[in-house]
Amino acid sequence: MDAAQQQLQSLTWSDAGYLAPEWILIAFAILLAVLDLFMPQRSGRSIIGWLTLGGLLTSLGFVVWRVLDMANKASDAEAAGQAASVTIRLMADSYRIDYFSSMLKIVFLVATALIVLMSLGTVKRAEIPDKGEFYYLLLPAVVGAMIMASSGDLITLYIGLELLSITTYVLVGMRKHAVQSSEAAFKYVVTGGISSALILFGMSYLYGVTGATNLGAIAQGVQQHAADYPALLYVGFFFILAGLGIKIAAAPFHYWAADVYQGAPTPVTAFLAVVSKGAAFAVIFRIVYNVAFYASSPGKPIADDVFLAVNVLAAAAMLIGSTMALRQFNVKRLIALSGVANAGYMLVPLGLSLKGMHASNFGEFVFYLAVYLLMTIGALSVFSVISKSVGHDEVGGFSGLYYRAPWTAAAMIVFVLSLAGLPVTGGFFGKLFILLGAAQSRLYWIVAIMVVSSVISYYFYFRVIRQMFMRSTIDNEVDVPATSGVVIWLCAIATVVLGIVPGPVLDWIHSHFSIVNDLFIR
């Protein structure tokens, strides 16, 4: 009996219950696809949107319940003097439910729920002709991201990656009659195919060296054969890193991002910027810390070289993303290049390894990812309202916003300050924690690049604020739909709260997450 059959037989009905969040989303996607065939064109699409939101919140509830259940079991185990590991391993450890995956699933589901809520009030038929199709395609895309976060095997990981990729290819091209959207979809399909090919090629080398697809088994094989096949391991790691670098839009693999973000509908842009990027980061964490971490042998510092490559990629993303954004006046392209720089910031905790006994890497990453979720979706929600009002996507659309919609302008100031990393916002502490971690690991050159990149970013971020306060040539009224207003203020308030009291959130992450139990696969 081969390994695949063993994995399938090991999934019992009780085990399938652990996958309730994923099953719920799949069931809702199928139900809504059928329901869309019978619903009226106008009111029916909004109903499907609300049902999609209900499915996401239901799935989120199950994930949160599982996290609380794991926390209770861990507390009981500690009280009994036993090991506190509560990781759930399914299908021969190819699918894992732990704090690592659960925290990221919460981020993905919250982000998608906010995106759906944002779209209910602002998306016009001209932007997304078939809104029902847009809503139920988001669900399998989120399932793909969740599979990537929980994967402990290269095969499971690739299934999640392709499920996310294929659905987002369709979502990017939703504006069927817009040339710009078709061009964006074509570019995204091509670069996505190249990314998948690079990742598969790198995986084939890891499988060839170790004869395994499970990340834990690969780690053991790498420890045994690192001295024998260093060149093959270098090829495998760097091809995987390049393929995932495309997915997270890190320089120099970012050239698709600006065109795709600009051509895609605004809610899809938000999904690519947060959920798709976050899922790719989850894979990088799993592979680098489970496989590359053990790859060194005497005279062949493969692990050190991989972590150095991650840091170089982070530095390039921060500098190139920030400098290229200086000349951008289209808001979506500005968000894309800002995302390139932010991908660099989020790569820094990963590249720090465990130098200098620095072990809070994941906490710093997930805190910044949560803040990035809030400020990016919040800023795109404001942008969707403004673009609907003025009829274009340029920064000039924010002209005189303070005089036309002062409260919306106030929320946008919060998001801009957070993106720039200034105090009293979550973005400030997100960058500060990462910067202090790099300083603790004595990577002072990364610290310097983070500071320089942040200073450069002030110019294009404050361009938006300058437009809101110093330009008053546009008199269009700004109509903020109720759903968009809810998203904008939820994101703004949460951003400020994380900027005032970040400690409890970070402490909760650190108190529950364990590198040994939740990230390493043994």
The token pair at 426 is 């979550």
| Amino acid letter, 374 | L
Domain total for the chain?
A: 1
In angstroms, the CA 122 to CA 131 distance is 12
The parent domain of residue 46 ranges over 17-519
In angstroms, the CA 244 to CA 127 distance is 29
Q: Is residue 140 in some structural domain?
A: yes
Contact assessment for residue 317 and residue 344, using Cβ atoms and an 8 Å cutoff: yes
Q: What is the predicted pLDDT for the residue at 268?
A: 93
Q: What is the predicted pLDDT for the residue at 42?
A: 63
Which value, in Å, is the radius of gyration of the alpha carbons in the chain?
A: 22
Reduced to 3 states (helix: H, G, I; strand: E, B; else coil), residue 210 is: helix
Angle (CA) 294-315-196 rounded to 5° is 60
- Tokens 């489970």 found at: 290
Q: Is residue 174 in some structural domain?
A: yes
Contact assessment for residue 238 and residue 200, using Cβ atoms and an 8 Å cutoff: no
Whole-number Cα distances in Å, 271 to 123, 134, 146, 191, 294: 14, 12, 14, 17, 34
The token pair at 32 is 């809504």
Reduced to 3 states (helix: H, G, I; strand: E, B; else coil), residue 97 is: strand
Q: What is the predicted pLDDT for the residue at 242?
A: 94
Which contiguous run of DSSP H or E holds residue 89?
strand 88-90
Q: Is residue 277 in some structural domain?
A: yes
| Amino acid letter, 251 | A
| Amino acid letter, 352 | L
The number of beta carbons lying within 10 Å of the beta carbon of residue 71 is 15
Q: What is the predicted pLDDT for the residue at 4?
A: 46
Q: Is residue 512 in some structural domain?
A: yes
- Tokens 């809030």 found at: 374
Q: Is residue 3 in some structural domain?
A: no
Contact assessment for residue 137 and residue 164, using Cβ atoms and an 8 Å cutoff: no
Reported as a single tens digit per residue, the pLDDT across 431-473 is 999 999 898 888 899 999 999 999 999 998 988 888 888 766 5
Angle, helices 99-122 vs 277-290, to 10°: value is 170
In angstroms, the CA 234 to CA 297 distance is 13
Q: What is the predicted pLDDT for the residue at 11?
A: 60
Q: Is residue 100 in some structural domain?
A: yes
In angstroms, the CA 379 to CA 383 distance is 6
In angstroms, the CA 514 to CA 100 distance is 8
In angstroms, the CA 90 to CA 84 distance is 19
Report the candidate in 221, 224, 199, 200 with the shortest Cα–Cα distance to residue 210: 221
Contact assessment for residue 281 and residue 365, using Cβ atoms and an 8 Å cutoff: yes
Which contiguous run of DSSP H or E holds residue 96?
strand 95-97
- Tokens 């450069």 found at: 456
In angstroms, the CA 386 to CA 402 distance is 12
Report the candidate in 122, 163, 408, 410 with the shortest Cα–Cα distance to residue 270: 122
Q: Which residues of 447-459 are buried (b: 16+ CB within 10 A; e: fewer)?
A: bebbeebbebbee
Q: Is residue 12 in some structural domain?
A: no
Report the candidate in 346, 338, 300 with the shortest Cα–Cα distance to residue 322: 338
Q: Is residue 117 in some structural domain?
A: yes
Reduced to 3 states (helix: H, G, I; strand: E, B; else coil), residue 273 is: helix
**Mean pLDDT, each 10-residue run in order, the chain (522 residues):** 48 76 94 85 74 94 91 74 72 86 94 93 66 87 95 92 94 83 91 94 92 89 84 92 94 91 91 94 90 73 88 95 91 93 93 68 91 95 87 84 87 94 91 91 92 93 87 68 91 94 88 80 72
CA dihedral 305, 286, 277, 494 (to 10 degrees): -110
Q: What is the predicted pLDDT for the residue at 191?
A: 94
Report the candidate in 409, 432, 435 with the shortest Cα–Cα distance to residue 421: 432
Contact assessment for residue 148 and residue 162, using Cβ atoms and an 8 Å cutoff: no
